[in-house]
Amino acid sequence: METTSTQRSTQQSDADRLQQEHSRKIRELRKSQEAELKALEDKHARDMKTSDSAYKVEITAKQDEYDRKLKDLQERQQTALNNLSKQAEVNLKQAQETYRIQAEELRAQGERKLSTLREQHMDAEENIKRKGNA
């Protein structure tokens, strides 16, 4: 019976030892899985930070490009506005000069007509006086 009892005791010890080994392996596996999960979480966090930084760099670069293009556009528009303003001033001066010349011509024509009318009036008065004296 001792042999059976010893066998049972040995079997129980082996079973206990196997159970403890199994429990130890499960704990080690859980620890390694937890460590792997933590490492993956950390890597994900780093990747997200890197991605966020890259996104910010890209956004900043695009914003800088848009700002530069806007500034260029505003400068071109200002140049075009300045050119248009200068051309408007030139056109105004030309129109003023044209109207001044036309006014001088009209004044000269008016003076000539007035002079002609005065001469005709004086001639008519002289004719009336002659006819009245005759």
pLDDT, tens digit, for every residue of 32-83?
Answer: 999 999 999 999 999 999 999 999 999 999 999 999 999 999 999 999 999 9
In-domain check, residue 50 = no
In-domain check, residue 99 = yes
Domains identified in the chain, total number: 1
In-domain check, residue 39 = no
* Angstrom distances, CA of residue 59 to CA of 56, 64, 65, 87: 5, 8, 10, 41
Gap between the Cα atoms of 116 and 100, Å rounded: 24
In-domain check, residue 102 = yes
- Token representation of residue 75: 């400068």
Range of the domain at 101: 84-134
**Residue 7 has what pLDDT?**
81
pTM (whole model) above 0.85: no
In-domain check, residue 110 = yes
Q: How confident is the model at residue 134 (pLDDT cuts 50, 70, 90)?
A: low
In-domain check, residue 58 = no
In-domain check, residue 93 = yes
In-domain check, residue 35 = no
pLDDT, tens digit, for every residue of 104-129?
Answer: 999 999 999 999 999 999 999 998 88
Q: In terms of DSSP H, where are the helices of the chain?
A: 2-133
